Amino acid sequence: MSQKVIIASKNTWTTVGHNSLAGTRRTVRLVCAKADAEAVFASLSNGAWYATLGSGTGTSITVGGYYQRDASSVTMGEAYATIQLVFDSQSVQDLTIGTGTNSNRYDPVYNLSTNTEERPIEQHPDFLCQWAYNLYQLLPNGSTTTTIPQWALTDNNPAGGTRTTPVAREPEYLWSRTQPASPDAEHYYKQAMAAKKFGVDTYLVPSSVVTSVIYYTNRTIKNSDLLKVGRLKAPGYTYNISPNTAQYWLITGSGVQEASDSLLAVTTSYQFAEDAWDTQIYAFAT
């Protein structure tokens, strides 16, 4: 290459990337005859380490970096060609993603965000019927005396009903948010115990999302590089949130965007469910 290059120069190392991907990059500028540009550009191997490059004067120019062909370019002028060769201080791994083609990428960067989501109060692990429902007793017309049975103080799953719609626990008692209708002309329901947390219909639980960001230097990202949204798969790092098995993590988003002039970012979001996702509804990612 040194015999074909007329002028060679380089800039200083500049910072690229961020977080654990922060590294440095430099550009080497070569000028050569237009007829030699293709051969000069093709003489370097993508991802290879170059300590030096030959110059047109027979001396060498110090590089000390990994060549990034996707970020490099050739510009044809009227008489000469200018070649911009980009070198990174960090090695970029050549990995296969799913069934896609090999793409140069950095190791994933993981981020955690935890917000809250509402759930019906009946799903609370310590739920009691008396929190949200009034207890009514069936009395004969004209009778006004009510009693609170001992079972009502600890009842959390009324017989014959579900947690979301409590029904009669015993023939003469009924859990209800509103005044029940009389079953016949001889009886009526009288409130025996008022709800202790009336009006509290929901409660908040933590909702954690782990986001994985993978930076690529290869400008071609295949569809297979994007994980399938709506499938179950655990992220590579869960910040000690457990279980860290696939059934507890749902892929809720996956996309690609420009991260810089030379990097593409593939971002994938994983939503955690402490009770696990329903595998009859959500399939596992392959």
User: In which domain, by residue range, is 172 found?
Assistant: 129-195
Report pLDDT digits (tens) over 254-264: 888 877 656 77
Burial class (CB in 10 A: 0-12, 13-18, 19+), 88: buried
Q: What is the mean pLDDT of residues 187-192?
A: 93
Burial class (CB in 10 A: 0-12, 13-18, 19+), 113: exposed
Nearest to 250 by CA among 222, 271, 274: 271
Q: Give yes or no: residues 171 and 51 share one domain.
A: no
Residue 223: per-residue pLDDT: 57
Q: What is the mean pLDDT of residues 55-66?
A: 69
285 within domain boundaries: no
Q: Which helix (H) or strand (E) holds 28?
A: strand 23-33
End residue of a domain, out of 195, 222, 250: 195
Q: How confident is the model at residue 148 (pLDDT cuts 50, 70, 90)?
A: very high
Q: Give yes or no: residues 64 and 187 share one domain.
A: no
What's the CA gap between 69 and 215, in Å, rounded?
16
Q: Give yes or no: residues 101 and 210 share one domain.
A: yes
Please enumerate in sequence order all residues whose Cβ is within 8 A of that of 234, keeping only pairs 6 or more positions apart, or say none: 244, 245, 246, 248, 249, 270
Q: Give yes or no: residues 100 and 76 share one domain.
A: no
Q: Is 269:214 a contact under the CB 8 Å cutoff?
A: no
